[in-house]
């Protein structure tokens, strides 16, 4: 029989985490392959899309929602993540406080999001580990992710290390339409 034609499934992905951990930078690196040291913090960026081929021969089209920096001023409306298929909860490996904030976001998702949501804990700014600035060990974060049944990645939006691989792994976990 002729192979089934490829199917593209749209999936909503949100980024959560403390302000300045690099959420917007991760999106920019993933979607445009760019990094900007002096970029103004997100103001009103709506959403971006990126399509990823998956093993089955199909495609996952991520609709990526950035918080537009709202977490800085007020709490995010649950509607932002309630209908999400995937969430990347970002912390900064040079900030132990940002991991605490990530833990709080994960509890929030466990309370409010769809139980089938795929969650990835992402330790960003991996490029700063070599400069001796690391405050969160890989082991500590991996152990937490394992306990909570989350995916885990350490990444750098600056050097692009691990970024594509992380989104690709998330895409592989997305159910696709048939
Ligand atoms: P957001 O508030 O979580 O969206 O964070 P931004 O994407 O605005 O990034 C906050 C700051 O961290 C900016 O100055 C970025 O240039 C910087 N930044 C983001 N990702 C990285 C990274 O992987 N490595 C380094 N060294 N800096 C980063």
pLDDT value at position 41?
Answer: 57
Q: Give the 3-state DSSP-derived string for the chain, with helices as H, strands as E and coil as C.
A: CCCCCCCEEEEEEEEEECCCCCHHHHHHHHHHCCCCCCCCCCCCCCEEEEEEECCCCCEEEEEEECCCCHHHCCCCCCHHHHCCCEEEEEEECCCHHHHHHHHHHHHHHHHHCCCCCEEEEEEECHHHHHHCCCCCCHHHHHHHHHHHCCEEEECCCCCCCCHHHHHHHHHHHCCCCC
- Ligand 1 pocket, 29 CB below 6 A? no
Question: What does pLDDT average to in each consecutive run of 10 residues of the chain (178 residues)?
Answer: 90 94 94 82 67 96 79 67 94 98 95 95 97 96 98 98 98 90
Q: What is the pLDDT of residue 137?
A: 98
Q: How far is the CA of 178 from the centre of ligand 1 (A)?
A: 38
Among 16, 21, 22, name the best residue to mutate to test ligand 1's pocket (greatest count of ligand atoms within 8 A of Cβ). Answer: 22
Amino acid 178: pLDDT: 75
Residue 97: predicted pLDDT: 97
Cβ of 45 closer than 6 Å to ligand 1, yes or no, is no
Report yes or no on whether pTM surpasses 0.90. yes
Q: Please give the pLDDT value at position 57.
A: 94
Q: Does residue 134 line the site of ligand 1, with CB under 6 A?
A: no
Query: How high is the pLDDT of residue 147?
Result: 98
Report ipTM for this prediction. Answer: 0.99
């Amino acid at each position: 029989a002729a192979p089934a034609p490829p199917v593209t499934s749209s999936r909503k992905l949100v980024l959560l985490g403390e302000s300045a951990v690099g959420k917007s930078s991760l999106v920019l690196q993933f979607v445009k392959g760019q990094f900007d040291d002096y970029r103004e913090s997100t103001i009103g960026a709506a959403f971006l899309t990126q399509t990823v081929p998956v093993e089955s021969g199909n495609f996952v089209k991520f609709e990526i929602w950035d918080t537009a920096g709202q977490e800085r001023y007020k709490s995010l409306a649950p509607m932002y993540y309630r209908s999400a298929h995937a969430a990347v909860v970002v912390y900064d490996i040079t900030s132990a406080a940002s991991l605490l904030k990530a833990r709080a976001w994960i509890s929030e998702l466990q309370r409010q999001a769809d139980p089938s949501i795929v969650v990835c804990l992402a330790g960003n700014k991996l490029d700063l580990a070599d400069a001796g600035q690391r405050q969160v060990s890989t082991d500590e974060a991996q152990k937490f992710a394992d306990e909570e049944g989350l995916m885990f990645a350490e990444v750098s939006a600056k050097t692009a290390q691990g970024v594509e691989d992380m989104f690709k792994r998330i895409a592989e976990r997305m159910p696709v339409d048939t």
